[in-house]
Amino acid sequence: MRRKLCKRLEELERISAAAASRTYSHASADAAIEKLRALLRANNFQQEPNESLAQTFARFLGISSRELQDRLTQRAYGNQSVYLGGL
């Protein structure tokens, strides 16, 4: 009985840690987005009504949205060819 209880407790701790990690990830992502928006504002780049934040960032970098997507994919996945959809 005790062993079963310990196993269940370990499982719940692992699940809890994973949930806490996801919460932290959302907070980190939100902070990164705000930093990107601040960088764009500081350089007088406004997000146009018809473009995504990624498209605005690509314009800021002087590259196409597709090139930005390719570079981010390359950084995330290395040499694997992965298509993540449109930006």
- How high does pLDDT run on average in the chain? 83
Q: Please say whether the beta carbons of 54 and 36 come within 8 A.
A: no
Question: Token pair for residue 80?
Answer: 């694997």
Domain segments of the chain: what residues?
Answer: 1-44, 47-87
Residue ranges of alpha helices (H) inside the chain are 2-42, 53-61, 65-77
The predicted-structure confidence for 62-73, as pLDDT tens digits, reads as follows 999 999 998 888
- In the chain, what's the furthest Cα-to-Cα distance? 65
The predicted-structure confidence for 28-83, as pLDDT tens digits, reads as follows 888 899 999 999 999 999 999 999 999 999 999 999 999 999 888 888 777 655 55
CA 44 to chain centroid, in Å, comes to: 24
Question: Token pair for residue 24?
Answer: 């932290």
- Output b/e per residue, 31-41; b: 16+ Cβ within 10 A: eeeeeeeeebe
